Structure formats: structure tokens, C-alpha cells
Structure 1
């Protein structure tokens, strides 16, 4: 079963188009027959397989990427009065999770080439504050942040590092996949991501204490292995993944290498054909493996170009038009008024075009033709 639309019936080029195999039906039927739908063996199997993929000792599944971030922060003992440095250029869940855990998000600027947290600006913020307990970098658009530099800063200042890898399943730095660089990492399995469970998330870690606290927190604060009783040893939530979601995830994980390779092929197609245009295409630093959750270009003509693509039925999206520290919900946050010019510049100029694995040759051609036509007619 594929959700890809028949091009004879719909000529639009979608920004995302999840592909679901028919074997998922068999997996779901098997999970239904097991009877443990809220949790159970299917979820444990998915955790084991995803942890092995990320090469981490532990993985704990959750209901979505946001709950993964929140549970991980709770497991890292974030408290009221603590501050966590993160990026202003991301989906709002990254900062929301910090606030939900009782801490304050403190924003540092980004590297405009990679769109990820700039270690030099993180160092500037650390020199100005004494309440920072951790770093929460986001691997944005499928590209890892500068984890080497950030982890070095964290070691120097005795901070935790929580990777937000919700857009970076399979991204790597010098052969090591994201998910195991910091104290913990979080992934989302929303339908538009590089792999999906419908809705879902997961926390990966090499720290046994963090894994145990996450597993407890997502299960109402029960003691480890306390699923069937009422021994609640800490405050928690119901953030569990369902067996049906895990069944989908196990199938998707098997196809993730194929999905990512196709995304990279589509990105290379665009790189080659857009190289001579007055716009910025994505960067892949030496030693990094980009998995292109989004293919994001940057141009001062962003809005007009987006209109031109829409006229050709090409979905193009702006991720993200308003930096987090400028969102209405963040007006009362201490760093809301911070001047972060590179994040603001990105917000004014970025545009993502379809790069998902289901793109046809015709789809890619239409995207390139419209972008080229726009600039050639200027």
C-alpha cells in the first residue's frame, strides 16, 4: 500500500508523500493478535532495532517527538531556574519542551550555511550566564549540527547535550549516526519525517540511568518493569507508543536506508541543475552525511518564487518563517528580545522544495523548470 498519488489523476508535486508497504498490514494484524496494543513486545522490538540502528545502548519509544524531548529533559533532571541553550530556528517543540520541563530556553544564533546552532555564539552566551545546565542543538533539515564543537563546550562547562534529531534519521558525522553524540537524543516519526510510525517518537542514549528514567516517565512514573502494577516512584505522563505504531515503525526502519538514499539522489539532481542560479543550495560539510528531510534553498526572492511554484502545483514550504524567540508564545521569555541576525536572515529567505523518495522524474523536472524559469525571466 503506497500513499503515492497516481500522476495521471493529480499533477501536483507534494512537499511530502509517505510510502507505506503492504507488509505493514501483516505486521499490524500480528500486533492485534498479540493483544498488547498500548505497549508490549512490538514496542520493545522496535526500540531494540532503532537503538541498534543508531548504535546506542538504549532506546525508549514515546508517543511523538515532542514527548520524547520532554521526557528526556525530565530524565536529565532539568529543574525550575535552569537554563538550556537552544536554537531559535527550528520547530517550536524544541524550545517548548524546555519550558514544559520547567526550565528556560536561551537562544544562541545559527550558522547560516548549515542552519544549525553556532558553537561560537553558544560560547558567547555561556560567557554571559551562570545558570545554563545543558545544550539542545537541533539537527535541522536532515543535517547534523556541529556536535564535536558543541560536545567539547559541554564537557568544558559540565553541561548535558540533548540532540534534537527529529529531522535527521540516519544523518551522520564522520561515519557516526546522530543519536549517540550527546547524553541523549530524540527522534520524531511524524508522517512527513524520513520514516514514520503515523505518530511517535523515541529517545536514544548510552546512559542506562537516563533510559530508565525516560521509560519510567513515559509510563506514569512507574518503576522499571512496573507496567502491570501501581508502583509509581516518580511523577510521570502517559507518553507510551502503541504497538500498532511500532509495527509500522519496524517496517519503515527497514526501508530507511533506501528512503535516505533516494532523498540524497533527489538532492544531487537539484544541486546539479540549480548550481548556476542566484540562490543558495544546501551545504553538506566534509565528513557529514545529509539525509535531506528538507531540501532548503535561500533567496531574497523567496516569496515570489514560492508563488511561481504554487502556480505549477508544486508544494513549497517555509520552515520557519518566524524564529521561535519572535513567536507570540515567547514574548515573556527572557531572551525573547535577543538580536539573532542569522536566524532572522534565514527566516526571511528560506524555501523548501519537495525532495521526498516518492518524487518521479517528472516531479523533479517540474520543480527545476519552474525555479529556472523564474530566475531566467527576471
Structure 2
């Protein structure tokens, strides 16, 4: 059994009768024929499709999800001495990009059931040095943007959604990545909408920010050899844009299947007494980028599952503020960054195999083996 079966996607049939593999091959061939490997017509086509899908005016396709965050921060003018509020329960890109600009990540604890930034704890972390807020839409559903945006607006702060794991989900009828000042996402292969390499995008309704992000992603270039901003080489490759376009017609079905499989997991696990299943907030949908539960004695559970051929993963075992490169030096923080809920989650979360092509039989096997492993370890511990 595979944790994420990316190869299975290629044989899926599209509405026009082609397979995903055929559509991708056709798109790649078109790029090879026209030869515009950097900023070819497929890039603009992808941006047009994605901005319409998210429901915003502008999409800037970039080289990775990390670049998307970095470019968004640079466009907002984040620099040395600034603070950016975020969560310590995320992949390193969330804080790495802040640190690269000389700013300080200020960590706010997470909501215990959604794992996203707890809006109730946000306001005390805001200072005169705060330049932006980055909530992470973790595990497939949006963070609490209604509350977060309200607080940010009162303080005149922009909000960047790290939507690397939530592209395709919704909150109160609006799509993730279109819920804040800037939305960012990743097209890493294992993400809900993944390419065959790195890629990402920034989304906004703000024309000035869109222009700035586009310049920053292209070496700060306003026109050829005229550089108005310090930028990066953050453009998406034409071939990756083409691959994403080839896969796009199947994305809506994949989102539907992810929701169906995630809901089935929860029903089956709750029926056998596993109650720490993902909590879906009111008004939210989820694309279940990961299907994550909590278990006691995680290392032992993982070992038993591995013996039975069930792959698992931990997202994330170490808080960002505990990473050697990213220790938080903010005055509100001590080691662990006063985020006890995030710390507790990091010690117990366990992600199970999850992808749109997971069969019912395989899912049943995962559920059965997880329950067996938990019971086996409980019995061993009591002997």
C-alpha cells in the first residue's frame, strides 16, 4: 500500500475520454514544439484558469509554494526588524521565508481540534513591529479567516494564507487562497493539486500587490533590464504549467473524492472507538491533504503498522520554534514558544494513507490495522 499513490492518477479518465497521462503528454509535446520554456503561453493560461477558480482577480504562478510565501512577504515590504505572526505547527517554509527577510516569526498556539492558528490567542501577539499574519490552512481545510481577518483589519495588518495543503477547499462558499489579502499555495506533487515537480501560486484581488508580486517573482523586473524591486528568480516553468493544465480537468473530481474518502475514514474510525479524527469547522470543506488522527505511543503504533505494510507519516513532529535554525526570540516566548497545544499535538498526530484513489478495501484495512495496533500496544503496556 502507498501513502499517496501518485502513479494511479495517470490512468484516470478525463471528461473528454483521454487519460490524465495522455493529456499531460499532449501538453508537454505542445511546449516542446513551440519552445517557449520560460513564461510560455501555458503560464498565462494556467493563471487565468486558477484566478477564476479561486474567485480573485489575479494569480501569479511561481516556482514553488515556498517561493509563493517569500514573494508575498517581499511584496508587502517585510524586512529586517519586522515581526510576522504565524503558527509553529507547520512545515519549515512558513517560518523560513520570514527569517530569510530578517524578520522575526512570532508564534501563536493552535486550535486543539483544527490544528490551525487559534484566532482567540492572536491579538496579544500583535505589536508595533507586526507587519503581517500568516495563518496556515493545515491538513486540508481553511483556518478561521472570519475571526483572523477581523482582528487584522482592526490593526491594519495584511493576512497571507498559507494554503499549501488546502487548495480546493472552501469556507462559507469562498475558496481557500481567496480568503485573505494574499493567498498562497503549492503544486508540490503530493499536494491536492500537484505537478510533476515544484510549483506554486499567489492570489489576490489587489492590483498593486499583484503587480509587485509579479515583478518580485521575475528578478524585480518591470520591463526588460529595468529592475524596480529586489526580486528572486521565482517563475514557474512552462513545462510545469503545462503539466498542471493537463491534470486540471480531473481536479474537481479529485476534490470530491478526497472529501468522500475523508468522511468515510471518520465514520469508520469513530464506529470502532477512534474519536481523534479530523474536525471539520462549520462552513468549511476539506481536501484532506492529510488524514490525521491522534494516538498514544505513536512510535510503537507506527512500528506495528509498518510490519503490516501500512505506511504512515507525522506532520509535524518538531515545532518550528524548536528547529535549530528558527528558535523564536520574541519576548513573549520561552522555549516551546508558549504553544502547549501545538507541542502536545506534535507528539500525538499520525497521518494515514490518503489520496483520491484509495480503495474502500484498502481503507478498511488501514482502519482495522490501526485499531489492532492500538489494542496490541495497550495490552502490552498493561502486562
TM (normalized to structure 1)? 0.92
Q: How does 1:182-197 map to 2 (within 5 A)?
A: 182-197=180-195
Equivalent residue of 2:132, what SS?
strand
Equivalent residue of 1:289, what SS?
coil
CA contact (8 A) 1:325 1:336 kept: no
| Residue 252 (structure 1) shift | 2.5
- CA–CA distance in 2 between the matches of 1:25 and 1:281? 39
- CA–CA distance in 2 between the matches of 1:372 and 1:292? 21
- CA–CA distance in 2 between the matches of 1:332 and 1:53? 37
- CA–CA distance in 1 between the matches of 2:3 and 2:231? 38
Q: How many residues align?
A: 361
What's 2:86 paired with? Answer: 86
What's 1:27 paired with? Answer: 27
Tell me whether 1:263 sits opposite 2:258 in the alignment: yes
Task: Choose which of 316, 325, 332 in structure 1 pairs with 2:312.
Answer: 316
> Any idea what the Cα deviations from partners look like across 1:65-124, whole Å, max 9, x if unmatched?
000100011111112211110000000100111112231110000001000000111122
CA contact (8 A) 2:105 2:328 kept: no
| Residue 332 (structure 1) shift | 6.1
CA contact (8 A) 2:320 2:327 kept: no
CA contact (8 A) 2:108 2:118 kept: yes
Equivalent residue of 2:30, what SS?
helix
Tell me whether 1:238 sits opposite 2:264 in the alignment: no
| Residue 360 (structure 1) shift | 2.2
| Residue 24 (structure 1) shift | 0.3
What's 2:14 paired with? Answer: none
In structure 1, runs of 5+ residues without a counterpart are 1-11
In structure 2, runs of 5+ residues without a counterpart are 11-19, 379-383
CA contact (8 A) 1:117 1:145 kept: yes
| Residue 336 (structure 1) shift | 6.1
| Residue 375 (structure 1) shift | 3.3
What's 1:254 paired with? Answer: 249
Equivalent residue of 2:350, what SS?
strand
Equivalent residue of 1:133, what SS?
strand
- CA–CA distance in 2 between the matches of 1:305 and 1:211? 46
| Residue 16 (structure 1) shift | 4.8
- CA–CA distance in 2 between the matches of 1:88 and 1:357? 29
- CA–CA distance in 2 between the matches of 1:172 and 1:99? 30
CA contact (8 A) 1:64 1:188 kept: yes
CA contact (8 A) 2:321 2:328 kept: no
RMSD between aligned alpha carbons?
Answer: 1.4
Tell me whether 1:13 sits opposite 2:9 in the alignment: no
Q: Give the stretch that moved more between structures: 145-154 or 266-275.
A: 266-275
What's 1:277 paired with? Answer: 273
Tell me whether 1:340 sits opposite 2:339 in the alignment: yes
| Residue 238 (structure 1) shift | 0.9
